[in-house]
Structure 1
Amino acid sequence: MTTPTVVLVHGAFADASSWSGVIAELQAQDIPVIAPPNELRSLATDAAHLASVISQIDGPVVLVGHSYGGALIGIAGTADNVVGLVYVTAYVLDEGESLGELQGGFAATPLVANLKQWTYPAADGTAADEVTVVEDAFPSIFAADVSPEITKVLAVTQRPLTAAAFGEPATAAAWRTKPSWSLVAGADQAINPEVQRFGAERAGAKVTEVEGASHGVIVSQPELVADLIRQAVRATS
């Protein structure tokens, strides 16, 4: 039996290093794993970049998406060698659905009122908008169960997400044809837990709910996250 390669996709306001604890857990079990960068520049181009990474991996792949990364694995996960999807406190979009549309059906979290807007040069030379979490609000919104020493660093190393991504429709929903797993963070202040539950139920995912866990559960509880990923790996090997 071939052990799938685990591909970890980070979300907005973070980078691939946020998976460090999870990576160490998986490597200790000899599970092949990579965590490519996510450019956070548009749903379409970010998913295309992820698809290109997947296409260069020999053998089966289990995709794991945190937060906005969940929207990407639902699109890129249609690749033939993707055998499973793991959503971690993530958006689970349907085909034709945007982040804004999914979120709009549920109560807003504190994240919405604590986004700081920046600009960056778009490919056509115009200024485009991007957002990060207000630094002082970052610990309570993103990582309430992570130590203050770590959250201070995370708050100033955020990777911004282009504002346009909130309105882009997903072009595919891989969960319709691939098995999926979902971790719901019960105390998430970034993505409403009800949004996570709705997406997981719609996808028919095997759900693990962690009471009291923040959006940054991949940092605060890497062993638990890695255990869910191992479940997916075992089921698809």
Structure 2
Amino acid sequence: MKFPFLSAIAALALLFPAATTPTHAQSPGPVHNVILVHGAWANGASWSKVIPLLEAKGLNVVAVELPLTSLEDDVATVKRAIALEDGPVLLVGHSYGGVVITEAGTDPKVSGLVYVAAFAPNDNGSINQLSQGGTPPPGIAELRPDAQGFLKITPKGISEDFAQDLTPAEKADLTATQGPTNAKVLNGTVTTAAWHQKPSWYVVAANDRMIPPDAERFMAKAIHAETITLPSSHVAMLSHPAPVAALIEKAAATPAAAR
């Protein structure tokens, strides 16, 4: 089984033709509700350092638990969480979670999108489509499928490529608690990319070994996201929680008139 990933940046440009400034939907005032969406080989605990920082600012925070069985199942999980909130919602997605929020973000209650070292596909796009061509980043070689088609990352992959800037204890926790991810999520196709209508923010992880940082920069530019760059591994929300939380807080506090 092959898992090509983003590194042919010139080819990426073909998937974002004639990008124009999004037409942003308006929502009244700052956003109070934040839904955090983890990526593949992870769970809601990947936001454990960010959650208290956001709650300290008075935000209502929910970290969903994706089944990681298909894009459709994962989007349905996020939409159920959106439906339970009493007002506008800011969606935050890490890694594969970026695909999920790109699809779920068309919900009228969603006011904006924050991508953290995440995929941001265009209409009819998928991870595999974005990832065609070039040399895969190092972490992809550490994926192992089981007989049912679910993938996990080896301990070596977690330690050296997924979370190389965390402590040994944190790496061990990630290895033990990682969410097995069905390979078919890599082909999960977005119908309408929410970033065309919703304002976006992006965290580029400069030392990412799961998604090439240049690809992250390209996607951030293509979706017209307000962008920060951190000297981080793929799991920027665990290695640099304060600046990640600060960007989320900024996105939530941005008045409707500025969206």
Taking structure 1 as the reference length, what is the TM-score of the superposition? Answer: 0.92
1:139 aligns with 2:159: yes
SS at match of 1:53: helix
How far apart in 1 are the matches of 2:40 and 2:75? 14
Once the two structures are TM-superposed, the CA of residue 107 in structure 1 deviates from its matched residue by 3.7
Once the two structures are TM-superposed, the CA of residue 204 in structure 1 deviates from its matched residue by 0.6
Once the two structures are TM-superposed, the CA of residue 106 in structure 1 deviates from its matched residue by 5.0
Once the two structures are TM-superposed, the CA of residue 236 in structure 1 deviates from its matched residue by 4.2
How far apart in 2 are the matches of 1:42 and 1:80? 23
1:226 aligns with 2:226: no
1:68 aligns with 2:88: no
> Amino acid of the residue matched to residue 130 of structure 1?
F
> Amino acid of the residue matched to residue 225 of structure 1?
V
Aligned residues: 228
Superimposed CA distance per residue, residues 92-146 of structure 1 (whole angstroms, 9 cap, x where no aligned partner):
0111111011122554111221101113xxxxxxxx3010111122111111111
Superimposed CA distance per residue, residues 5-25 of structure 1 (whole angstroms, 9 cap, x where no aligned partner):
000000111110110110010
Q: Which runs of 5+ in 2 are unaligned?
A: 1-28
Q: Percent identity?
A: 38
How far apart in 2 are the matches of 1:145 and 1:10? 18
Residue number in structure 1 paired with 2:16: none
How far apart in 1 are the matches of 2:111 and 2:79? 14
Contact 2:142–2:156 (CA under 8 A) maintained in structure 1: no
Once the two structures are TM-superposed, the CA of residue 216 in structure 1 deviates from its matched residue by 1.3
> Amino acid of the residue matched to residue 211 of structure 2?
I
Which range moved further: 82-91 or 193-202? 193-202
Residue number in structure 2 paired with 1:34: 62
SS at match of 2:131: helix
Residue number in structure 1 paired with 2:254: 235
Cα root mean square deviation, aligned: 1.3
Residue number in structure 1 paired with 2:141: 113
1:216 aligns with 2:244: no
For residue 167 of structure 1, the aligned residue among 187, 193, 209 is 187
1:83 aligns with 2:111: yes
1:185 aligns with 2:205: yes
How far apart in 2 are the matches of 1:222 and 1:167? 30
How far apart in 1 are the matches of 2:31 and 2:113? 15
Once the two structures are TM-superposed, the CA of residue 58 in structure 1 deviates from its matched residue by 1.1
Residue number in structure 2 paired with 1:122: none
> Amino acid of the residue matched to residue 137 of structure 2?
T
Superimposed CA distance per residue, residues 41-93 of structure 1 (whole angstroms, 9 cap, x where no aligned partner):
11122112211211221100000000100000000000111001000000001
Residue number in structure 1 paired with 2:24: none
How far apart in 2 are the matches of 1:163 and 1:229? 29
Superimposed CA distance per residue, residues 164-212 of structure 1 (whole angstroms, 9 cap, x where no aligned partner):
11122211200000000000000000111122112111111011111x3
Q: Which runs of 5+ in 1 are unaligned?
A: 120-127
Taking structure 2 as the reference length, what is the TM-score of the superposition? Answer: 0.85
> Amino acid of the residue matched to residue 30 of structure 1?
G
Residue number in structure 1 paired with 2:83: 55
How far apart in 1 are the matches of 2:206 and 2:140? 18
Once the two structures are TM-superposed, the CA of residue 234 in structure 1 deviates from its matched residue by 1.0
Q: Matches of residues 11-22 of structure 1 in structure 2 within 5 Å?
A: 11-22=39-50
> Amino acid of the residue matched to residue 42 of structure 2?
A
For residue 8 of structure 1, the aligned residue among 15, 30, 36 is 36
Once the two structures are TM-superposed, the CA of residue 223 in structure 1 deviates from its matched residue by 0.7
Contact 1:175–1:203 (CA under 8 A) maintained in structure 2: yes
How far apart in 2 are the matches of 1:115 and 1:36? 24
